[in-house]
Amino acid sequence: MSATVKHLSAFQRDILYVVSDLETSYGLGIKDALEEYYGEEVNTGRVYQNLSTLVEEGYLEKSAIDKRTNSYTLTETALQAIEHRHNWQQTRADSQLVG
């Protein structure tokens, strides 16, 4: 079975999509991108807590940029899970357009 994101929260899925879109994905940059998408302030602690969860679950890899800043990149598991989710959504949308 391929990797999926179905057990992740919508916020965690949004983090994965943001990380996939940013050239350099670091905590505050991810937070800024989420705030731009949501149109409202996002709690910093919520972002970092969910980043840690996604690292622990194998969706993100964390590496140090400097002593205070970490960068986050998608793992192969995350890439497969995003592709699976995209295909699932596309199939649902296509069936609605045809039906």
pLDDT per position as a tens digit, 37-88: 999 999 999 999 999 999 999 999 999 999 999 999 999 999 999 999 888 8
With beta carbons less than 8 A apart as the criterion, state whether 69 and 26 touch.
yes
* Token representation of residue 95: 């069936």
Distances (CA, A) of 84 to 42, 52, 59, 71, 87: 27, 23, 14, 25, 5
What local confidence, expressed as pLDDT, does residue 25 receive?
Answer: 94
Q: What is the pLDDT of residue 40?
A: 98
Q: What pLDDT does residue 29 have? A: 96
